[in-house]
Amino acid sequence: MEKKKIFEGKNIEVAIEEACKYFGKNKDELEIKVIEEGSSGIFGIGGRKAKIEAWVKYDPKRLENLVKEMVGDLLSYITPQPQFSVKINNENVNVYIEDSPNTGLIIGKEGQTISAMEHLLNKMIAKKWPEKVYIHLDAAGYKERQENYLKKQVMQLAQRAKISGRPISTKPLSSYHRRVVHLALKNDKDIITHSTGEGPLKRVQITPKKRFRRKTS
């Protein structure tokens, strides 16, 4: 699926026709934003083309089918008949893998395989879907348990940071887990979080707003 694209024509109707041809959709299936109405000028001189921005309308069912196709293809390398369900909640696409005989292979050591698949799927969906969505993979509740454990850990780290008055960093985390940390501490008014480091695995630094000051004699 293509992302947003600019189309031009001698008038709005012609520009829309060009968009419909390009996407292979009818007008009702497209979102259309008029950028410039266009004008014919005086005696045909100095006219400007009409310009629109168009993209395929958001369709949860189409998104669900696309995700199912991608996940099915990816899992087929691990298990011959992958079983999973897809649930869409706004920008979050939750995929729960139900293939219990191969759960260990799908999760991998310390969750490395399922995290790698999740990362790859998000790269793939970014190229095929016009809107920003996040695919979350889970198998046998592993990711949910991992997230709950991570949230509990960062709450403890935040408390330590506030007591000591000094910043504390997490271990290196994936972009998804860093997002979990940021959201978990988002409503704590005494804490500021930001990612540090290079590469795909970065730490989240948890900094108290009231910094510790050493007493001077």
Chain segment 92-104, per-residue pLDDT in tens: 999 999 877 889 9
Residue 91 vs residues 51, 176, 180: alpha-carbon distances, Å: 29, 14, 15
Start-to-end C-alpha separation, the chain: 67
Q: Span 177-191, mean pLDDT?
A: 92
Could you give the residue range(s) of every CATH 3.30.1370.50 domain in the chain? 145-208
Which pLDDT tens digit goes with each residue over 77-121? Answer: 998 888 999 999 988 999 999 877 889 999 998 788 998 899 899
Q: Give dist(CA 66, CA 133) in Å, integer.
A: 12
Domain at 60-140: CATH architecture: 2-Layer Sandwich (3.30)
**Pick from 204, 207, 161: which is nearest to 181 by CA?**
204
Average pLDDT over residues 14-37: 93
pLDDT at res. 43: 58
CATH of domain 145-208: 3.30.1370.50
Distances in Å between the Cα of 208 and the Cα atoms of 83, 104, 178, 192, 195 are 45, 39, 18, 6, 15
> Alpha-carbon distance 149 to 109, whole Å?
17
CA dist., res. 140 & res. 149, Å (int): 16
Location of each CATH 3.30.300.20 domain in the chain: 60-140
Whole-structure pTM value: 0.62
Give the pLDDT confidence of 139-169 residue by residue, as tens digits. Answer: 999 988 988 999 999 999 999 999 999 999 9
d(CA 214, CA 217): 10
